[in-house]
Structure 1
Amino acid sequence: MTAVAPAQPAAAAAPGTAPFFAVRDIHAYYGESYIVQGVSLEVHHGEILALLGRNGAGKTSTLRTIARVDNPVLRAGEIWLDGKPLHRMKAFEASRAGIQLVPEDRRIIQGLTVEENLTLAQVSPGQGWDLERIYSHFPRLAERRRQEGVTLSGGEQQMLAIARALARDIKLLLLDEPYEGLAPVIVQEIERILNEIKAQGITTIIVEQNAIAALRLADRAVILDTGEVAFTGAAADVLADQDLRKQYLAV
């Protein structure tokens, strides 16, 4: 069996510079349940990181901790985005600092059209993508701009949720299970959009049970196992190491 690489520190930034995004030894809890157990990771500007692991490994909890939502509760550690201390912020402050989370349930606002959902997201005019730019990358949304958002198909709602994040002042995009429940042909469409976003240089962390799809998209990967980092390395290395994937991802 191929030896499993231990967790290693992310590639160092240039001397005298800090990484664009860094998580330093964070510990988070749901009540008294210890969920995120000393996770550290780095993401460089314009990079895509796949955050992987089996069900219950702590992936979504880590993503929610980064976004500074109410649960889980961060009890120790630091989170830095472009020099700003997110660990000292509430969720709305982290959002204003540039963190945009696309949750698994998408949270499309009932009663609003596609375009109204997007317009409402543009709380800082001129900071995020404007409608013209969004529609150029999401032609399906352009076709359905007058349709109520919650009546879209699952894949179209996922597109709307991603587009809504881009409409805000974004520095780091957090994607939680973007392919969940979607037909393969729609997954391919979402992959196309995410590759276009990658080409735009948007820094991204993706949590996804479809590990192979996430690894094809990502530059690097971090694998969690019961709340701890088990592996850090190039996404291509994980794709090439079947034994590593079987041990931690069951794929």
Structure 2
Amino acid sequence: MNQSKPDAPQSFFSCRELNAFYGESYVVQGVSFDIPEGDIVALLGRNGAGKTSTLRAIARAAQPAVSSGEIWLNGQPLHTMKAFEAARVGVQLVCEDRRIIPGVTVEENLILAQIAQPLGWPLEKIYGYFPKLEERRKQEASSLSGGEQQMLALARALARDVKLLLLDEPYEGLAPVIVQEIERMLKEVKSMGITTIIVEQNAVAALKLADHAIIIDTGEIVFTGTAQEVLDNKALREEYLAV
């Protein structure tokens, strides 16, 4: 078996017995799953189920505190890394609050995202996929609409050499027409072979985009399978997703 690191799994992305805590709250409980390269996974569950905590643990954010488990990306042991090191090997987390840098323009947000190596898309390519951002490139980023800020947050991730894209509630608060625009962009991302995990309360929209589905309940995985299996299983959706 060819391995780029000792004990690394063969899957492009692999999470093994991940456990994480906020203080004494046990928020991620023995989570394990694998993702083939270039696939999209919908990570679903009710509010407070542990979805965002799982994303943050994968991205090596300071909170929640990861107490045990292994996380591998393309043979690289993320579980030994800090957040900035995980970003360097291709992990990009787009948070629900979007983390737009205030006081600077749209274009300056993109340039600042490329200060650290390795670089991803050049500005010309970003603007080709996000023409609205090009129209507003000299506008202060914090003055953008919610949908435009979400586009900018996604574009900032693509400005880095992203291999694993983690999206936390990308459709939150957006008008349906903007949701469709974000969906179109995520389909383009998939066509480029970028592996993606999407956490989204709009479960049906996420499932229609995804290849696979993982459902978490009280920090534990209760279902793994294809996205279509969840779309076809009304009882499962009602029990764990309330849809």
In 1, the alpha carbon distance for the partners of 2:157 and 2:53 equals: 19
TM-score, normalization by structure 2 = 0.95
- Is this contact kept in 1: 2:9–2:75, CA < 8 A? no
The answer to whether 1:249 aligns with 2:241 is yes
- 1:6 match: none
Q: 2 CA distance for matches of 1:125 and 1:89?
A: 16
Match of 1:77 in 2: 69
SS in structure 2 at match of 1:216: helix
Spell out the pairing of 1:107-126 with structure 2 (5 A cutoff): 107-124=99-116
Correspondence for 2:3: none
Alignment deviations for residues 182-231 of structure 1 (CA, whole Å, 9 cap, x no partner): 11111111111111111111110000000000001100010001000000
Contact 1:172–1:203 (Cα < 8 Å) also in 2:
yes
Residue 209 of structure 1 aligns to a residue in which SS? coil
State the one-letter code of the partner of 2:212.
R
- Match of 1:180, SS state, is coil
> Gaps (5+ residues) in structure 2?
1-7
Structure 2: how far apart are the matches of 1:207 and 1:235?
A: 13
Partner of 1:154: 146
- Secondary structure in structure 2 of the residue aligned to 1:135: helix
Contact 1:124 1:169 in 2 (8 A): no
Structure 1's consecutive aligned runs of 4 or more residues displaced over 3 angstroms after TM superposition are none
Is 1:206 matched up with 2:195?
no
RMSD across aligned C-alpha pairs, in angstroms?
1.2
| CA distance in 2: counterparts of 1:35 and 1:126, whole angstroms | 32
Which residue of 5, 18, 22 maps to 1:30?
22
Residue 127 (structure 1) shift:
2.8
SS of the residue corresponding to residue 115 of structure 1 reads helix
Output one character per residue of 1:16-73: Cα deviation in whole Å (capped at 9) or x when no partner: 9710111001000001111000001111110000000011110000000000000000
Bigger shift: residues 17-26 or 58-67: 17-26
Aligned to 2:227: 235
| Alignment-mate amino acid for residue 60 of structure 2 | R
Counterparts of 1:56-135 in structure 2, within 5 Å, are 56-124=48-116, 127-135=119-127
CA distance in 1 between partners of 2:170 and 2:9 (Å)? 32
- Bigger drift between 121-130 and 204-213 goes to 121-130
Q: How many residues align?
A: 236
Give the CA deviation at 1:126: 6.7
Q: 1:172 aligns with which of 164, 169, 173?
A: 164
Distance in 2 (alpha carbons) for counterparts of 1:17 and 1:103:
28
* Long gaps (5+) in structure 1: 1-15
The alignment status of 1:226 with 2:224, answered yes or no, reads no
Say which is worse superposed, 233-242 or 16-25, in terms of deviation: 16-25
Determine the structure 2 residue equivalent to 1:216: 208
Matched with 1:189 is 181
- Write the deviation string for residues 63-88 of structure 1: whole angstroms up to 9, x where unpaired: 00000000000001000011111111
CA 143–48 in structure 1, closer or farther in 2 if over 3 Å, else same = same
**d(CA) in 2 for partners of 1:215, 1:30:** 29
Question: Structure 1 225/146 Cα, relative in aligned 2: closer, same or farther at 3 Å?
Answer: same
Structure-1-length-normalised TM-score? 0.92
